[in-house]
A and B are shown apart, each in its own frame.
Chain A
């Protein structure tokens, strides 16, 4: 059914910390690794070793350079490099679901996860048109729409050890930049983190009400002394004293 539920019991999603992400792409690799061999059609690659490789990914990491404006206090502020992982945000008002003509796309009432039932998908691509975030990709080999499932086949999987029952990207992130939990519960760890760090929606004006939240990068530290070695180069004695002082003054007079 492609009408959206009026509310969901839980709002499972990710919190992505732009302050700590180091842009290593480990989440991209682990996502592709898990999802190409589990739920649904594999994530195919086209011409992977050739001149023009491309493939289906459910998670991609962009990098942006942000240049702060110059101020009189800081005439030449340093640009900041921000690594930016992006996958489905499991929007509350998911436009990708309502446009689907077949009922293949749906949002689950129990946890808010947005999924595609691949055996109903006709591969019209309209849901990818409707998603502002580029979170849906049509698989070129299968002709069906692929998207992040929030690792629905891990998080409820009793065959996995408890610590592995989180999305593959969260489990693998070496920087601890990805967090998983119920954003509908204000007492959950992720909700507290979002409140503490002023978590934000991407493209709020698109009205999608994303569940996933992004934590903005914190301002970079500034050091008072620009040259960290300078103190070591300070002259040991400014004014020579004693015999050397006399010599200095005498030579000065000559």
Chain B
């Protein structure tokens, strides 16, 4: 799959942003007034900034509001509904904290649940795709939620929770990669089933439909940079999970905490690049590629 910058930015930033909102909804940290304002500003910048980035790759962003209508069948529509609901509920809850110094706890819990639901709906957009065997696994939502909770805890200053969740998320990430490497082969879809010609013999793509490239090849048969996958995985693991863990284990300082957060976000962005670049869409089989 083509790793579109807007989608990588969206899943990385929004994931962290909704993670922070989750912790704020639970009252962790228990802040009010201007301190609360600062936390909410960071969370909203990440969550809403990410959402905004995701509209950049649309062909018709001006019609984006129509995407709220099909929540009965579409995970993308559900994501839209959940994200707006989370932002509105947490907005009211945050305003009460900042301006009234009051914590309306049930509203916070509702907001936290909606923030988590948003991350879940995002992950299901990918996890539902039977056409991309690497994504089609319950591990995908587990990974997205673990990363979001860990990143949220990190940015919300929940050191103990962040350390535990970073370790868990790192582990899920490794498991996800290990499962993913055999996913296409295990899916049972290959050139034989794609063409239905497997019963005759070995199928080889002889001539593509056109000499030039096309939308399908650009969007789905992205193979550039896969050869660096192993190195990039190490970088993602080190920056996204290991380095933040080490920095959190050190005696607390604001510089170390900030560095941990930045390192985490960069690492997650790298892993999200791999999430797309390594994903094999079955349509590639028609072109003899994977």
Interface residues of A (CB under 8 A from B): 1-4, 18, 28, 52-57, 60-69, 77, 79-82, 84, 86, 95, 97-104, 120-126, 128-134, 137-138, 140, 142-145, 200-207, 214, 216-217
Contact = CB atoms under 8 A, between A and B. Distances in A.
B76 A64 contact: no
B201 A68 contact: yes
17 contacts: A1-B70, A2-B74, A3-B73, A54-B210, A54-B212, A55-B214, A57-B209, A61-B209, A63-B205, A63-B206, A65-B206, A69-B202, A82-B195, A125-B219, A134-B283, A200-B196, A206-B131
A124 B58 contact: yes
Interface stretch (B186-194, B227-235, B247-255, B257-265): B186-194
B69 A102 contact: yes
Nearest to A200: B196
Interface in B263-290: 281-283, 286-287
Contacts of A52: 212-213
Contact of B215 (A28, A84, A126, A138): A138
Given A60-B209, A203-B194, A217-B200, A122 B60 contact: yes
Contact of A132 (B64, B74, B189, B195): B189
Contacts of A204: 193
Interface stretch (B110-118, B122-130, B143-151): B122-130
B140 interface: no
B208 to A, nearest CB: 7
A62 B209 contact: yes
In the A-B complex, the 10 residue pairs with the closest CB atoms = A123-B59, A143-B59, A60-B209, A68-B201, A101-B77, A101-B67, A134-B283, A63-B207, A101-B76, A102-B66
Contacts of A68: 200-201
A102 B70 contact: yes
Contacts of A66: 197, 200-204
B66 to A, nearest CB: 4
Contact of A130 (B129, B197, B205): B129
B50 interface: no
Contacts of A28: 209
Task: Select the residue from B74, B80, B216, B283 with max chain A CB neighbours within 10 A.
Answer: B74
Contacts of B72: 2-3
A144 B59 contact: yes
B220 interface: yes
A103 to B, nearest CB: 5
Contacts of A104: 66
Contacts of B206: 63-65, 81
A61 B202 CA distance: 19
B61 A122 contact: yes
A120 B76 contact: no
A100 B74 contact: yes
Interface in B155-201: 187-189, 191, 193-197, 199-201
Contacts of B80: 101
Given A86-B286, A125-B219, A206-B131, A100 B59 contact: no
Nearest to B209: A60
Contacts of A67: 201-202, 204
B197 A82 contact: yes
Contacts of B282: 132, 203, 206
Contacts of B189: 132, 203, 205-206
A84 B57 CA distance: 32
B180 to A, nearest CB: 17
Given A54-B214, A129-B131, A103 B60 contact: no
